[in-house]
Amino acid sequence: MKAGRYFALITGIAYLLIGLMGFVPSLVSEPTVLPEYVAEVGVRSGFGYLLGLFPINTAHNIVHLVVGVLGILASIALDSSRLYAGLLGIFYATLAVLGFIPAAQTMFGLIPIYGNDIWLHAGTAAIAIYFGFFATPNLLQLFAQNRDKAREEVSEPS
């Protein structure tokens, strides 16, 4: 199994577990006071801090579950795992940047992406961008190898 497929599988399992952990009440600490932006416009369902560190809510947990399932499914083939890693890197880099912007720290009231989530998203993005765009063999090399192999099979008499 290539490194890109391992990345997709491990990331998928990790985010699936994180999503499931968000639904376990003993792992989510409830804040004593709701942050102002959550109290006014935010989705309050399931709001709390996973392991006391990461702000989450029910919608956030569902996003983690979807990212996890997609990672596990993408690990079936190298091309799909590379696509998954590249898109995941772009997605989480965007979330990390939005986490620094006060008006967007809750994805407009839907999902909290501030605090320690910023560092988790930035780290995930950096690793995913590596496996999506820079890890070898890249998809063009694989395509060329498959093309050359197909040409050899066609040119050899049976």
pLDDT tens-digit profile of 54-101? 999 999 999 999 999 999 999 999 889 999 999 999 999 999 999 998
Confidence of residue 18 (pLDDT cuts 50, 70, 90): very high
The structural domain count of the chain equals 1
- Backbone Cα Rg of the chain: 20
- DSSP conformation class of 39: H
Q: Kindly report, residue by residue over 105-147, the tens digit of the pLDDT.
A: 888 778 889 889 999 999 999 999 999 988 876 666 767 777 8
Domain residues for 29? 3-155
* CA 29/CA 41 separation, integer angstroms: 21
- What's the whole-model pTM score? 0.82
48 in helix, strand or coil? strand
